[in-house]
């Protein structure tokens, strides 16, 4: 190796992350589009109509992936916020901030698609059931985190306060996940279990998993683009950003 400085944490430098992420983002958008087309094709044209729920069940292809992403992104956000706090790692805190709006969007979508699925199948848009209530609390945690980090002017102190909130709030994620087991809920149990065979037809399962990967690629693309914007905003006065923007400005 002729570059001894290249280590695992090389990309923890915001300038290097900016370039690496810039290269990766178009591929994540392309993957999102390709996977969405494939997932929706299987979901609408290959997977059969459900025997009990009719075609209303097709909401599952976006409902479950959105709900999974809402929980996964929260844990990833809390993790990077914690890393940024514990090790004073600037980029980790920026990633945490970049995740929050995308996580909040997926949480809202999980609630919204759940409501319009609940109406025809349960007869109600909303019930104060453990699963729905804990997912609503997740939305408030995301919004609280966003409001908190934006309310404190000192950027690093805001990151630290946000990290504390994110880490304490992460206790809610296992509550959401296990709510259908711990309490008698109207919401059905887990669709996919590590210990049991899937309870749904293979084509339905395939469509749902492909859509999950599509949302996952989407989250990477959106979060990385937002992180790049935050990097530029915070480092606008540094030499490498000046280098980057030189000649971009046309008077």
Partner 1 sequence: MNWGSASAFFEMGGYGLYVWGSYGVTALLMLVEPWLVHRRLRRSLRDAARIESGNEAES
Question: Residue numbers of the site for partner 1 (CB under 8 A)?
Answer: 29, 44-45, 47-49, 54-56, 58-59, 62-63, 66, 101-102, 105, 108-109, 112-113, 116-117, 119-120, 218, 221-222, 225-226, 228-230, 232-233, 236-237, 241-242, 244-246, 248-249, 251
User: Shortest Cβ distance from residue 59 to partner 1 (Å)?
Assistant: 5
Q: Which residue, 84 or 103, is less far from partner 1 as judged by CB?
A: 103
Q: Which residue, 44 or 140, is less far from partner 1 as judged by CB?
A: 44
Q: Which residue, 7 or 248, is less far from partner 1 as judged by CB?
A: 248
Q: Which residue, 3 or 250, is less far from partner 1 as judged by CB?
A: 250
User: Shortest Cβ distance from residue 16 to partner 1 (Å)?
Assistant: 17
Q: Which residue, 113 or 170, is less far from partner 1 as judged by CB?
A: 113
User: Shortest Cβ distance from residue 175 to partner 1 (Å)?
Assistant: 25
Q: C-alpha distances in angstroms, 175 versus 73, 130, 180, 182, 188?
A: 15, 9, 9, 9, 15
User: Shortest Cβ distance from residue 247 to partner 1 (Å)?
Assistant: 9
Cα–Cα dist 189/178, whole Å: 9
| CB-based burial label for 60 (10 Å; 0-12, 13-18, 19+) | buried
Q: Using only C-alpha atoms, what is the Rg of the chain? A: 21
What residues contact 111, with CB distance under 8 A and at least 6 apart?
Answer: 132, 135, 136, 139
Residue 173 is encoded by which pair of tokens?
């994620």
Cα 12 to chain center, whole Å?
21
CB 70 within 8 A of CB 110: yes
User: Shortest Cβ distance from residue 27 to partner 1 (Å)?
Assistant: 14
User: Shortest Cβ distance from residue 121 to partner 1 (Å)?
Assistant: 9
User: Shortest Cβ distance from residue 183 to partner 1 (Å)?
Assistant: 25
What is the CB neighbour count within 10 angstroms for residue 30?
Answer: 12
Cα–Cα dist 38/61, whole Å: 12
What residues contact 158, with CB distance under 8 A and at least 6 apart?
Answer: 148, 149, 150, 151, 152
């Amino acid at each position: 190796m002729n570059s001894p400085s290249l280590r695992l944490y090389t990309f923890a430098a915001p300038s290097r992350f900016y370039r690496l992420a810039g290269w990766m983002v178009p591929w994540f958008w392309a993957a999102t589009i390709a996977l969405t087309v494939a997932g929706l094709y299987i979901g609408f044209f290959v997977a059969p109509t459900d025997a009990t729920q009719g075609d209303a069940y097709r909401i599952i292809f976006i409902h479950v992936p959105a709900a999974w992403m809402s929980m996964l992104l929260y844990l990833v956000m809390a993790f990077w916020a914690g890393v940024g706090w514990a090790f004073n790692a600037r980029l980790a805190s920026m990633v945490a901030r970049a995740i929050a709006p995308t996580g909040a969007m997926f949480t809202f979508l999980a609630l919204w698609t759940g409501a319009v699925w609940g109406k025809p199948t349960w007869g109600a848009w909303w019930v104060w059931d453990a699963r729905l209530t804990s997912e609503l609390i997740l939305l408030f945690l995301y919004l609280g985190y966003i409001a908190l980090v934006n309310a404190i002017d000192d950027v690093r102190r805001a990151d630290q306060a946000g990290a504390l909130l994110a880490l304490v709030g992460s206790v809610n994620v296992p509550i959401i996940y296990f709510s259908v087991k711990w309490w008698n809920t109207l919401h059905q149990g887990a669709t996919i279990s590590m210990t049991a065979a899937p309870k749904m037809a293979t084509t339905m399962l395939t469509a749902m998993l492909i859509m999950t990967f599509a949302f996952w690629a989407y989250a990477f693309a959106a979060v990385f683009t937002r992180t790049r914007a935050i990097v530029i905003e915070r480092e606008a006065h540094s030499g490498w950003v000046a280098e980057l923007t030189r000649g971009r400005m046309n008077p």
